[in-house]
A and B are shown apart, each in its own frame.
Chain A
Amino acid sequence: MSTAIDNIVNQPYTAGFHTEIETDSVARGLSEDVIRTISSKKNEPEWLLEFRLKAYQHWLTMTEPKWPNVTYPKIDFQDIIYYSAPKSKVTKKSMDEVDPELLKTFEKLGIPMNERAALAGVAVDVVFDSVSVTTTYKEKLAEYGIIFCSFSEAVRDHPDLIKRYLGSVVPYTDNFYSALNSAVFTDGSFCYIPKGVKCPMDLSTYFRINTQDSGQFERTLIVAEEGSQVCYLEGCTAPQFDTNQLHAAVVELIALDDADIKYSTVQNWYAGDENGVGGIFNFVTKRGLCKGKNSKISWTQVETGSAVTWKYPSCILLGDNSVGEFYSVALTNHMQQADTGTKMFHIGKNTRSRIISKGISAGKSNNSYRGLVKVSPKAEGARNYSQCDSMLIGDLCGANTFPYIEVANKSAMVEHEASTSKIGEEQLFYFLSRGIDSEEAVSMIINGFVRDVFMHLPMEFAVEATKLLGLKLEGSVG
């Protein structure tokens, strides 16, 4: 039976292919010159170059964090290509203008984005390597005054907004990787929802790492003005490579009074092979600021890829009555390592947070939940509920839970529940004894386990994510 489980979870990566597109890269390594080159290639204003250089100077004084429960070979930051962009950089207005090779890539991934965009009514801002290739539905969004564009375009067309909010939630001094990102970020997405506007469609970005050895440093900034609402989807997958690729994105969310941001991610980057060779290093800083009263930020993530994941989407609950949520499924297999969780900072009065984390470990992987709930002295009436469940598949994997709770206000109520279970032979045998085969049994048990999180994903995404988990877990069961 345990070999049956092995076969099920040891499904090779299906998104493993490399697209041949001419790229325009800078030389390996990081220096002030490289940063100046990136900035000038992107025709950036002086203030942004200064921001980058300050971040770089600060980064030089920092060292990599050692506290996450992961191990990986030392990263040689001078052996990384910090900028690479598809050669044709002219913005495309219609899908016909997009490089057919690129379209094929999306099709192989099962994301025929032209159809997808039309069918689902989703505006897809595709980041391919570092430069946005195409943006759809822009006009429709413009009617509502919504800005949804690549970060580079935003710097050009909306410099005041960028100047005002860039680094306001995740300052470049925050951590080693946010400093690095601030110095070298190449592109990403910007989204601005004006006062009182309820975004008429989900906004979606597909990230794709393509050029071998190119570090990826996306930057996402979402600003929701008073009383506005937006639902943002981020999904990514990468081709199979043998050398590790570093990914260090920064995502900043700002919700003003009564605003509501829902940010969902499905992540399926190359995780390395069964022996842990290759795979993406994913060191991401995601943080949302509930700046206004009654504001709400909700993170939902489905993490299935990467060799090493280090990621803690967090909420700073500054506004009174603001709400932070974190719903997470992290699946690790083979030699994958994930140290992921969230931080909820309760600062305003009557702030509430909710954490539901589901870790699934298979193979020889290691999956840790790390969460901080911090209630400041002034956070009268703060409430938190956390639930962290781990599921183990097989005997060689590991799961850990590291909850940190710091409460400095007596009126606060913080609740934490944790459980670890195993897809044991008894559960599988129960299904089998009813005629159901092991593949279907495992996928049903897993889908049951993640149900509380998946119900927070937008419908389309939930379907895709279910498919993804199935893919990761199905196999050649004899």
Chain B
Amino acid sequence: MIIKNAETILSVQNLVASIDDTQILKGFDITVKAGEIHAIMGPNGSGKSTFSKVLAGHPSYTVDNGTLEFKGQSLMDLEPNERAKLGIFLGFQYPVEVPGVTNGSFLRLAYNTVQGARGKDELDPLEFDDFIQSKLTLLGMDASFLERSLNEGFSGGEKKRNEILQMSILEPTLAILDETDSGLDIDALRVVANGVNTLHGENDAVVLVTHYQRLLNYIEPDFIHVVDGGRVIKTGDKSLAHELESRGYEWVLEENRSRAA
């Protein structure tokens, strides 16, 4: 929802970032306000995941230029865990598997760490069990997922659900979900979308990275950004997604090229 005079959650201006001396983001701009849902679309390799990871503070990337602010505070010098404690959440495109670490203990540690940073009480294992039960139900996940090793042997769709489960307990102010819809079957997509809609409110914001209009039928975006070559080349409302779906990217890229020329 677009709210008048809403607080700016994320402000990114002219962000330039590189990995292994290769510049990937080349002047990325985006402004996200409280209550809003943004979708980022764009061809493969255009820099969508890179932007997500730079935002979360991935150590492999260096920021060469530009500003990256969360609620008016620069994120540049903050470690990824400090950003998480501020309320930034990255739903991974490819969540890693961690053998031997149970999902439940990982979730509880993450929850307690982030809660602690907010000055709230930690939950002991029993309290946490009660707490997480409702979240599992919301996402249609079986409690046995808590006993399993973190993401190990999870199907693609289960991994994505597990990301949203984490989002649901961490209650971020800014969630950036990198292709959370890829690999989900129709039912799972509906469940995940429903989860995101339930969690989203007027004090937080969601950025969806997606290739498919399909997701946007369930989660209605306020803005759609098209990324190419490491920058946002077009921004529109949700009708843009339909247009992209039917016409592809080429016309946007062409429009951009002729503008540049």
| Interface of A toward B, CB cutoff 8 Å | 1, 421, 425-427, 429-438, 440, 444-445, 447-452
Q: From the candidates B57, B95, B96, B100, name the one contacting A449 in the complex (CB within 8 A).
A: B100
CB distance from A314 to the nearest CB of B (A): 27
> Which chain B positions have C-beta within 8 A of A437?
81, 113
Cβ-defined contact, B81 with A448, below 8 A: no
Given the interface contacts A425-B60, A444-B101, A444-B106, does A432 sit within 8 Å of B96 by beta carbon?
Answer: no
Cβ-defined contact, A445 with B80, below 8 A: no
Residue of A nearest to B112 (CB): A435
Cβ-defined contact, A436 with B59, below 8 A: no
> Which chain B positions have C-beta within 8 A of A1?
59
| Interface of B toward A, CB cutoff 8 Å | 56-60, 79-81, 83-85, 89-90, 92, 95-96, 98-102, 105-106, 109-110, 113-114, 117, 149-150, 166, 170
Cβ-defined contact, B92 with A452, below 8 A: no
Cβ-defined contact, A447 with B100, below 8 A: yes
CB distance from B75 to the nearest CB of A (A): 13
Cβ-defined contact, A433 with B84, below 8 A: yes
Could you write out 8 A-B pairs with CB less than 8 Å apart? A429-B59, A433-B89, A434-B81, A434-B84, A436-B81, A445-B98, A447-B101, A448-B99
Cβ-defined contact, A427 with B117, below 8 A: no
CB distance from A385 to the nearest CB of B (A): 18
> Which chain A positions have C-beta within 8 A of B90?
433
Cβ-defined contact, B166 with A434, below 8 A: yes
Residue of A nearest to B114 (CB): A435
The 4 closest A-B pairs by CB, nearest first: A448-B100, A448-B101, A434-B110, A435-B84
Q: A438 to B113: give the CA distance in the assembly, Å.
A: 12
Q: A445 to B152: give the CA distance in the assembly, Å.
A: 13
Cβ-defined contact, A432 with B95, below 8 A: no
Cβ-defined contact, A434 with B98, below 8 A: no
Inter-chain residue pair count (beta carbon < 8 A): 79
Residue of A nearest to B102 (CB): A448
> Which chain A positions have C-beta within 8 A of B56?
429, 433
Cβ-defined contact, A450 with B113, below 8 A: no
Q: A430 to B101: give the CA distance in the assembly, Å.
A: 13
Cβ-defined contact, B59 with A425, below 8 A: yes
Cβ-defined contact, B110 with A435, below 8 A: yes
Cβ-defined contact, B92 with A430, below 8 A: yes
Counting chain B CB atoms within 10 Å of each CB, the highest count among A425, A445, A452 belongs to A445
Cβ-defined contact, A436 with B95, below 8 A: no
Counting chain B CB atoms within 10 Å of each CB, the highest count among A429, A433, A440 belongs to A433
Q: Chain A interface secondary structure, helix, strand, loop or mixed?
A: helix
Q: A440 to B81: give the CA distance in the assembly, Å.
A: 11
Given the interface contacts A1-B59, A430-B92, A430-B95, does A435 sit within 8 Å of B85 by beta carbon?
Answer: yes
Residue of B nearest to A430 (CB): B96
7 further A-B pairs in the complex, CB-CB below 8 A; given A425-B60, A448-B101: A421-B99, A425-B59, A431-B81, A432-B57, A433-B90, A444-B106, A447-B101
Residue of A nearest to B90 (CB): A433
Q: A430 to B163: give the CA distance in the assembly, Å.
A: 11
CB distance from B172 to the nearest CB of A (A): 10
Q: From the candidates A425, A433, A447, A448, name the one contacting B149 in the complex (CB within 8 A).
A: A448
Cβ-defined contact, B98 with A436, below 8 A: no
Cβ-defined contact, B81 with A432, below 8 A: yes
Q: A431 to B113: give the CA distance in the assembly, Å.
A: 11
> Which chain B positions have C-beta within 8 A of A449?
99-100
Q: A429 to B170: give the CA distance in the assembly, Å.
A: 16
Given the interface contacts A429-B80, A430-B92, A445-B101, does A435 sit within 8 Å of B59 by beta carbon?
Answer: no
Q: From the candidates A427, A435, A438, A450, name the one contacting B98 in the complex (CB within 8 A).
A: A427
CB distance from A461 to the nearest CB of B (A): 19
Q: From the candidates B102, B105, B114, B149, name the one contacting A434 in the complex (CB within 8 A).
A: B114
CB distance from A466 to the nearest CB of B (A): 13
> Which chain A positions have C-beta within 8 A of B85?
435
Given the interface contacts A435-B110, A436-B109, A444-B106, does A430 sit within 8 Å of B98 by beta carbon?
Answer: yes
Q: A451 to B99: give the CA distance in the assembly, Å.
A: 9
Q: A406 to B79: give the CA distance in the assembly, Å.
A: 52
Q: From the candidates A427, A435, A445, A450, name the one contacting B81 in the complex (CB within 8 A).
A: A435
Given the interface contacts A429-B58, A445-B101, A448-B149, does A434 sit within 8 Å of B113 by beta carbon?
Answer: yes
Q: A449 to B152: give the CA distance in the assembly, Å.
A: 12
Q: From the candidates A426, A432, A450, name the one contacting B100 in the complex (CB within 8 A).
A: A450
Cβ-defined contact, B110 with A436, below 8 A: yes
CB distance from B163 to the nearest CB of A (A): 10
> Which chain A positions have C-beta within 8 A of B89?
433
Counting chain B CB atoms within 10 Å of each CB, the highest count among A426, A431, A433, A435 belongs to A435
CB distance from B182 to the nearest CB of A (A): 18
Residue of B nearest to A423 (CB): B98
Cβ-defined contact, B109 with A440, below 8 A: yes
Cβ-defined contact, A435 with B95, below 8 A: no
Residue of A nearest to B79 (CB): A432
CB distance from A65 to the nearest CB of B (A): 34
Q: A452 to B101: give the CA distance in the assembly, Å.
A: 11
> Which chain B positions have C-beta within 8 A of A430?
92, 95-96, 98
CB distance from A322 to the nearest CB of B (A): 30
Residue of B nearest to A449 (CB): B100
Cβ-defined contact, B170 with A427, below 8 A: no
Counting chain A CB atoms within 10 Å of each CB, the highest count among B84, B90, B101, B109 belongs to B101
Q: A435 to B56: give the CA distance in the assembly, Å.
A: 11
Q: A111 to B58: give the CA distance in the assembly, Å.
A: 41
Q: A436 to B112: give the CA distance in the assembly, Å.
A: 9
Q: A431 to B99: give the CA distance in the assembly, Å.
A: 13
Q: A430 to B152: give the CA distance in the assembly, Å.
A: 14
